[in-house]
Chains A and B, each alone.
Chain A
Amino acid sequence: MAQLTFREAIARGVAQEMRRDESVVFLGEDVGAAGGVFKGTVGLFEEFGPVRVRDTPISEQAILGAAMGAAMTGLRPIAEIMFADFFAVCWDIVANEIAKSRYMTNGQVTFPLVIRSGNGGGLRFGAQHSQSVENWAMMIPGLKVVVPSNATDVIGLMAASIRDDDPVIFLEAKALYASKMDVPDGEIVDTLGSAKVLRNGTDATVVALGAMVPKALAAAEELANAGIECTVVDVRSLVPLDTTTILREVSATGRLFTVEENPRLCGWGGELASIVSEEAFYDLDGPIVRITTPHIPLPAADALEDMAIPSVERIVSTVTKSMNS
């Protein structure tokens, strides 16, 4: 057991897989000797060298195109897109090329690749370096979308993503990079498409993702003090989606609250609300409530950003109000 930050867990997860499989290669901007702008790749260049850990020009289409071409010809590339907002400049490669080509070719090609990216706000970077884009990725058929919320999950889900034969968008909450936890020693391999129940309660089920998970847990703690016992589910993977766990936990409490960092429209919680309405409607004791960032670009000022992204206080007040109405 060692205490590890979220950012250190990324390098550990990648290194774990690079050691066991020579076909795993890594590319991106400043990922080599520099160790990544968020220091998520520290030590990889030193251990695996410049042939397996390659710096690229600032050319996101080239980075992801190269990852795709390499994946369809025998490698298991991991590509880094520094900030998830930058997906917008290479989205053709993601949405039209990587996601569609297996289906279009009737299964002739596979894309065992991982695109990891720093996602979301909380660092006061302003609108072009802060958006939470998991809903962009979730809506594209052919992409798996993984969003870990703690260091142990980072390692296990990274390993599972690298070993998976499908393209995985691996979104790392920037706000969590510095968070720490005790991580077990040895190899960690998790399962994609498995949500995790982090806390059990009887009154309401709070489903959260990425950086919203620790906030949901903190809110559940406060709510318990006020007499509202919440189940907290960490979604962990939007595609594949563990609807079995989520439906079970929602049916058990009769209430669903989603906590989403993405802007309101077409956030993952909307899809979840739809599934629960269709398949567990008669288990519900009250309305499904979504707690999201409002439908705005994220502001830079700390005071404004804190108002925009769901906070522990907003989760507590929203759940309390809804449960008491």
Chain B
Amino acid sequence: MSGTKVASPVVDLTDQISLYRCQLELRKFEERAYDLFLENFVKGTSHLSIGQEAIAAGFAAAMRPTDWTFATYRGHAHTLARGVPMTPVFAELMGRTNGLMAGKGGSMHLTSVDHGVMGSYAIIGAHLPIACGAAWSAQYRKTDQVAVCFFGDGSVNIGAFHEALNFAAVWKLPVVFVCENNLWMEYTRTSEVTAVAHPAADRASAYGLESILIDGNDADAVFDVATSAIARARAGDGPSLIEALTYRHGGHSRADPGKYRPDAEVAEWMAKDPVPRYRLRLLELGVSEDELIAIENDVIAEVDRATEEAKAGGIPGEDLLMKDVWADGSGSWRN
């Protein structure tokens, strides 16, 4: 299709090693998070993005520390990729006082304003207009900041998607919309409930935007398109809408084994797993096996350490219950 971007690595080898490490951290973190569910350290629900790490890693590498991430309930990877340490994220999943939000948000609402992670939103499509608002603020205050908003293919059929895309285009806002198309809207194949083949790319023209479809399992390709879209936003040339093709290796959420997906499809995408794929690329580029093993051991040690630190966190007490409903820190609605 026209406007399709292909991989054209613009990163140097040091950056590529960092990209590998980042993807690996996201992978190992989420594998551990899954184990922690099975051990009942993590309650409630959780949505893993195992298989989709290249998108979070590639974008985070292209963003400035002052740029903003708006993520969905499938937001562990996007939060960690911006530099949030593993310990408070694990602790948040476990509902501990050393959690990123002291246990008040949970897995679906990871937020770290200090790292530009402006929230993970669990109502489909809601954060697209909110990202527009942050972008408007940057435009008004002339701060050069860019908002990057990640969402799934299931978000493209809700009204907020269309309102936000039109609004961003009309106001020429510095926002980059990233559709992570993992082919499945919860338990239903997105193509069965969507009027166009490419849920985001095929709709870009409706908002006067270029149609951009990329291989979302190639961190270099992601970095490349992220760099150009963020530069465009920063230059005042308005929003972009990027569709990144990818696949989640697991089900929609903790409760879903993902059995509805054909085995052949799963096998096809497992062969395109972004993490081993990127490892192979680094080997081909001359990085030694020893160096990669050292990175892998380091990441696993980091995950182990963070797990234990998180488990050591306190259980939230009543002091937190009524806190911070309001800006003055209180929860009081009457005198």
Contacts and interface: CB of A to CB of B under 8 A. Distances in A.
B123 A97 contact: yes
Contacts of B118: 69, 72-73, 109
B170 A109 contact: no
Contacts of B128: 65
A143 B80 CA distance: 31
B126 A105 contact: no
Category for how many chain B residues contact A: 35 or more
B2 interface: no
Contacts of A110: 327
B63 interface: no
B166 interface: yes
Contacts of A270: none
A96 B124 CA distance: 11
Most A Cβ at <10 Å: residue of B118, B134, B164: B134
A108 B113 contact: yes
B146 to A, nearest CB: 12
Interface string A227-265: 000000000000111111000000000000000000000
B323 interface: yes
A242 B335 contact: yes
Contacts of B325: 102-103, 141-142
Given A57-B170, A59-B166, A65-B133, A107 B324 contact: yes
A96 B118 CA distance: 15
Given A93-B129, A96-B123, A103-B324, A65 B160 contact: yes
A36 interface: no
Contact of B136 (A59, A66, A105, A244): A66
B164 A65 contact: yes
Interface in B96-134: 100-102, 104-105, 109, 111-113, 118-119, 121, 123, 126-134
Contact of A105 (B119, B137, B335): B119
A108 B327 CA distance: 10
Given A97-B126, A104-B111, A106-B324, A68 B133 contact: yes
Given A72-B118, A75-B140, A109 B332 contact: no
A70 B131 CA distance: 9
Category for how many chain A residues contact B: 35 or more
Contact of B327 (A25, A92, A96, A165): A165
Contacts of A70: 133-134, 136-137, 140
Nearest to B128: A65
B334 A68 contact: no
Interface in A65-82: 65-75, 77
B236 to A, nearest CB: 14
A70 B136 CA distance: 6
Contacts of A77: 133
A97 B121 contact: yes
A90 B236 CA distance: 28
B21 to A, nearest CB: 27
B291 interface: no
B68 interface: yes
Contacts of B130: 65-66, 68-69, 72, 93, 97
Most B Cβ at <10 Å: residue of A107, A110, A142, A165: A107
Given A61-B160, A104-B109, A66 B68 contact: no
A92 B158 CA distance: 12
Contact of A104 (B101, B127, B326): B101
A73 B126 contact: no
Given A66-B132, A104-B105, A240-B334, 9 more contacts: A61-B159, A62-B129, A66-B129, A69-B132, A74-B137, A75-B136, A93-B130, A96-B126, A142-B325
Interface of A: 25, 51, 54, 56-57, 59-75, 77, 92-93, 96-97, 101-112, 141-142, 164-166, 193, 239-244, 275
19 contacts: A61-B160, A61-B164, A63-B129, A66-B136, A69-B118, A69-B136, A69-B137, A75-B136, A75-B137, A103-B104, A106-B102, A108-B112, A108-B113, A109-B113, A109-B119, A193-B335, A239-B333, A242-B335, A275-B334
